[in-house]
Amino acid sequence: MLNPWRLRLLSLLESLGTVRAVAETLHLSASTVSQQLTVLESETRATLLERSGRRVRLTRQGSLLARRGREILDRMAEAEAELRMLGDEPMGTVRVGAFQSAIQPLAVPAVTRLADSHPQLQVELVESEPHESGPALRTGDLDVIITTTDYVEFPWGRDLEIVPLGTDPVVLVLPQAHPLARRRAVDLAACADETWTGDRTGSYMAELTRRLCRQAGFEPRTVSRFSNYLLQLGEVEAGRAVTLLPALAVPAGLAVATCELTTPVHRNVTIVVRSGSAPRAAVDAVVGALLDHPAIPALTAPGEDSG
């Protein structure tokens, strides 16, 4: 009989890559994780891991069991949720990860509506940027994510179901008194001599900014990096820097100017869940609430003209 806990350890090892990372994620010791994986090998009578020095990697059998293990764990979670349901009423806990600029306009209103319509459903909302949320969804740490599939560094596979929410433009954010602020659209090459503020290195927006600036012929001279968009906007308000942000990330009422880019760039905003043939009423309710959002000026609905 396969142990679900040990299957989860193997699945996490495939996603995270090291025993240490699995141990840190689950707040266990590395030796405990290693011992449990050894027990799993004994239970399956298969060689699941190859050891190379102090590191391990999954064999073909290990990779197969990790993938099947994720499917088994998802089916078990679905069965538990269905057993808890009374009729079709969504119940239980759904963990939702959303990038920062989607939390206030999209996630919070949806969670608020769900509290009224489905009082037995608990939604845990977590800030999770595109480079973080995809892996967390795949490992089961999150059940629903609001992200962008434009983040190509993550492998969006057939084990994930993608539901489009819309698109928002990437805009240049300038101090209100900046000479370029009077323009409707700006060529990024005009900002080659500016100082920049941006997101953390390796994040979706940091990589996008670097790529767009390089395409415009320069390397951005970045003087500050914040994961919090409001801190970036504070730098712009103070006249210390310019930045690129998705339009959803720029609230009204700030002393900044936003300009379109002469070569428009849009971010595809999506809901992503793990695929599964059996329905999960709780997850479906959350997805439905996210799709049923009031009009958001910065977000163009799927199929509408974004240009």
Average pLDDT for residues 60-80, to the nearest whole number?
84
pLDDT at 113: 93
For 161, the token pair is 């179901």
Return the pLDDT at 150: 86
pLDDT at residue 263, as a whole number: 93
> What is the model's pLDDT at position 277?
40
Q: What is the mean pLDDT of the chain?
A: 88
Reference 268, options 236, 244, 241, 303; nearest CA is 303
Cβ atoms of 12 and 26 closer than 8 Å? yes
Q: Check residues 87 and 167 and name the one with the higher pLDDT.
A: 167
pLDDT score, position 255: 93
Phi-psi region of 2 (alpha: psi -120 to 50; beta: other; left: phi over 0): beta
Could you give the C-alpha distances from 98 to 23, 118, 183, 200, in angstroms and in order?
Answer: 25, 21, 32, 17
